[in-house]
Structure 1
Amino acid sequence: MPNLSDEELVAACLAGRESAWAALVERFSPRVRGLALRLCRDPRDAEEAVQEALIQVSRDLSKWKPIAPLEAWIVTITVRTAQKVDARAARTAKGVESLDRPLPDGGTRELRDRNAATDPAAAAAQGDLSARIKAAIAELPPKPRAVMELRQEGLSTKEIATALGIPAGTVRVHASRGAVELRQALGDLAQARRQTKL
């Protein structure tokens, strides 16, 4: 089934062929997983987003129209699902008052600090430039972060606008704001690079 066109694959899925659904998942799950990992701050939330996105794809597959590429339609579902899951996780994390909550027996349960992996200072201490850039992107507000991540995935302004459900001009504004915030967050890196060139 790997040689089927998107239209043929969707038709086979809608006809109830399990092998078609497996082929669809095999074809698009790397992209879905990659997007979810980029848009969610926690890998566990990303896995949840992958599952929810694929469930929604299976539920809404009959709504897909061949006028748009199937991949773009799935990317849109994935982006929106990942944003919802990440926002839900952030709201839940805000409700946690202590990282060492006392248990009824007097012990403590250490909770993972969701921001530890995305702290630009912590990433810099590790000396990993890539991790530092990823951490700075993860600290951006949701819309600029989504735009920057989708740009990294190679999507055009129009594709990002479709995926996020916003006008192309708004995509450009979020990209500009994200770039400004990244420059500020990573300013010491730029300064260090300028000094090494002198």
Structure 2
Amino acid sequence: MPSKYVSADGRDLWLQSNWWEAPAPTPADNYNFNLRKVRLTPYRSSRPSNRPSASINLARSGSDVTAVQISADHANWTYYNDGDRTKSEDSFDGTNKLVDFWGYTFSRSYWMNRVVYTTGAMADDGGWFSGFAGGLRVQVRRGFTWEDVERSRIAPAYPYSASAGAFTTYTLTFDETWGDGIRIIGEPGGSAHYTSIAELEVFFV
């Protein structure tokens, strides 16, 4: 972030990133000198005020929804936030990761108690979560700290193997909680150590 290109108030700047991958539907790789414009919004703490609703998916209707994932080289994060359960993304990056996660952060806090996770495409070497490191868990973010939710249940039972199945939906329910971020997290399975996702929905029911 060259200081020459930072605005006087520090909120607007240009980020130098010499490699990037354009997202679908016209993916393209480019290894060259690149600058991307960035605008920073100061953090403001908030208390949740949303009311229960089985139809409001916070992943799509929340304030300033930002996808978070562990692998930085995948561009199609919109796949798990577009309402289409037939397209998917995975976290394969050639490393032996001990943890993998998919989730969102928001610019304000929300009440939450349900996450609906649809797996993506799978292969012989990975695409699912393993049963190690506490299995598949849900975490919320408060005060920039990620914490496990209380009394999380998964239906149907998650098999922690390739039997989890491609494009299969699992509902994770937990005690009512709040935060400005939410994610599913666990150890990736398979010899290639990666997971897949088609959709991740968030509700306060």
TM-score, normalised to structure 1's length? 0.23
More strand by share: 2
More helix by share: 1
Return the index of the structure with the highest Cα Rg: 1
TM-score, normalised to structure 2's length? 0.23
